[in-house]
Chain A
Amino acid sequence: MMDEHERPPVFGSWRRLYTAVVIYLAAVIVLFTVFTKVFNR
């Protein structure tokens, strides 16, 4: 059983996991922008 202070299963710490989610969101928005520019006319 994990407790609050236990590390998350990925990225080693909660802070790093949160940062990874923010980077992921930025990447998704960039990807969607590229998708819109390439396909939407």
Chain B
Amino acid sequence: MTPLDWFVLAGSLAGIVLYGLWRGRGSDTTQKYLLAGKTMPWYAMALSIMATQASAITFISTTGQSYVDGMRFVQFYFGLPLAMIIIAAYVAPKFHSSGVYTAYEYLERRFDARTRALVSVVFLIQRGLAVGVALSAPALVLTVLMGWPSEWTTLLMGLTVIGYTVSGGIAAVTWTDFVQMLVMTLGLFAALATALWLSPVDLGGALQVAGAAGRLNPAVWTFDLNDRYNVWSGVIGGMFLALAYFGCDQSQVQRYLTGKSIAHAKLSLLFNAVAKIPMQFFILFIGAMVFVFFTFTKPPVLFDPGVQAKAEQAAGYEAVEREFDAAWSARKAAAEALPGTEAQFKAAQQAMDEARGKAAALAGQEGFNDTNYIFLSFVTKYMPAGVVGLIMAAIFAAAMSTISAEINSLATVSVVDVYRRHIKKQADDRHYLWASRWATAFWGAYAVVTARYATNLGSLIEAVNMLGSLFYGGLLGVFALAFFFPKVTGRGAFYGVLCGEAAIFATRFGTEITFLWFNVIGCMVVIATGVLISAAERRARTP
């Protein structure tokens, strides 16, 4: 990075922190600290919701995913607008008008303390595992590509986030999210403009090359339960996932609980319903354009420099590299002769992929995946001074917006659903405000510490993603019972969650069904079990 890049990065981070501290001043009651005194306008909540979802690893790997697999990942978001309508119409008004601090507090009002406790613990486990990874994942990539020590990257991001989140609570989180989202958008536009500018072909030519490579596929209609991304899994599975994430996960629910009114909360959700798909399309399109760039500029055999270095040490690497170079030259020649050479292009692409597989095997990395390194490799090696700093700032902003929302929501559930409910029930507001600040600091420190371990255990990222998908179906099911099944009892809800979770685990470990369907299956089992147990309970009570 050049001095200009450092200036842009440091300036952006300092600006975000100072703005957060300024916006968070006056958070001197629990309600102000955890719900911003319910004063947030819709546009601040809207961008905060969007920024919370867009983590750094999403930012880094989505572009890489498009590079290797095309734009079909965008279908993952097709169900989101439908979920947002359901949440805006039914969920947000109930949460808002009931005056709760957390989504799980609502469950005690509707069912019982046991169900609230169970779901709160599920949330704390799931989010607690995820927060360290959210912090470690970008640190890991930046360490490999930039040579920055992961301890320092983790500590820098962690302490920055803890600083403004502990000080200003959710007001600081929401307003910094707002600015962070603007920085991310700026970074994305800069990335696309530079990718197009560096390409030797115009936009029409770029679309032709990316299309020939099968990268321009944002709609795939083939129905396959084992295929992650198609229109069907996106609309149905994506809707259930979005319902669970935006409707039951405190890290998102808390965003729209801060609204000035129910109407503001609804508007913030509907803004995301409209803006999220184009934003993801845009990010994926950048990945496709990076692919076009590397069609005319020779890419490294492997994008992960660590694995590449290992492969280079192995016997037989030179032959693999020659094979890769020949395949790349053939692909370039086919691209220059398009249209009419699509078959040659695809054959050369396949040969390149095979050479990459062989190189990874030489490094002892069977099943190797370097998706996360593609975009940053392009940024650091080819982007002009200043733009690199801006994109680094965008990646830091994406990481910080997710982590701040997560530690803020973890602290809220810890204090409201555990500490105030079960440990110290009668204390004044100052005490709970003090507890909230300490809980925020605790979860921030916990994130920094667990990120250190997550950095050392790369496979943990996969494990946590998998764990997350195991819990959302149960959460969604119990909230569906709460909102839409008035006759369901606390016992029905409690055992419904347990049965739903059992069904999800059985699906995960006993079938090949892809994770997007876990939420559908889990939710359905919770509802069916909850309704049946409640009906049996009512019948047993009837004399």
Question: Do B261 and A39 touch (CB < 8 A)?
Answer: no
| Shortest distance between the CB of B540 and any CB in chain A (Å) | 39
Q: Which residue of A lies closest to B263 (CB)?
A: A2
Task: Please tell me if the beta carbons of A22 and B219 are within 8 angstroms of each other in the complex.
Answer: no
Q: Which chain B residues lie closer than 8 Å to A17 at the CB level? A: 270
Q: Are B262 and A35 in contact (CB under 8 A)?
A: no
A1 and B89 alpha carbons, distance in the complex (Å)? 19
Task: Give, as a whole number of angstroms, the nearest-CB distance from B405 to chain A.
Answer: 24
Asked, given contacts A3-B262, A40-B214, whether A22 binds B342 with beta carbons under 8 Å apart, the answer is no
- Please name the residue on chain A nearest to B231 by beta carbon: A29
Q: Chain B: interface residue count, which band?
A: 35 or more
B81 interfacial by beta-carbon distance below 8 Å: yes
Name the residue among B78, B88, B97, B263 with the largest chain A CB count within 10 angstroms. Answer: B263
Minimal beta-carbon separation of A31 from chain B (angstroms): 9
Q: Which residues of B contact A35 (CB under 8 A)?
A: 216, 218-219
Known interface pairs A4-B263, A22-B85, A32-B74; A41-B274 also in contact (CB < 8 Å):
no
Cβ-defined contact, A25 with B219, below 8 A: no
Give the residues from 202 to 238 in chain B that come closer than 8 angstroms, CB to CB, to chain A: 207-208, 210-212, 214-221, 231, 235
Contact across chains for A41 and B220 when beta carbons are under 8 A apart = no
- Contact for A18 among B85, B218, B235, CB less than 8 A: B85
User: CB distance B261 to A1 under 8 Å?
Assistant: yes
Choice from B211, B235, B260 contacting A39 with Cβ under 8 Å? B211
How many A residues touch B, CB cutoff 8 Å? 23
Contacts of B214 in A (CB 8 A): 40-41
- Find chain A residues with CB under 8 A from B217 CB: 36, 40
CB-defined contacts of A3 to chain B, threshold 8 Å: 261-263
On whether the beta carbons of A21 and B84 are closer than 8 Å, the reply is yes
Contact with B along A14-31 (1 / 0, CB 8 A): 100110011011001100
Given A1-B260, A40-B214, A41-B214, do A33 and B85 touch, yes or no (CB 8 Å)? no
**B278 contacts which chain A residues (CB < 8 A)?**
28
Give the residues in chain A near B121, CB-CB below 8 Å.
Answer: none
B93 within 8 A of A: yes
Distance of A35 Cα from B70 Cα, bound (Å): 13
Q: Which residues of B contact A6 (CB under 8 A)?
A: 261, 263
Task: Write the chain A residue with the least CB distance to B70.
Answer: A40
A4 to B270, CA, bound (A): 14
- Evaluate contact between A25 and B82: CB separation under 8 angstroms: yes
Residues of B within 8 A of A (CB): 70, 74, 78, 81-82, 84-85, 88-89, 93, 96-97, 207-208, 210-212, 214-221, 231, 235, 260-264, 266-267, 270, 273-274, 277-278, 281, 342
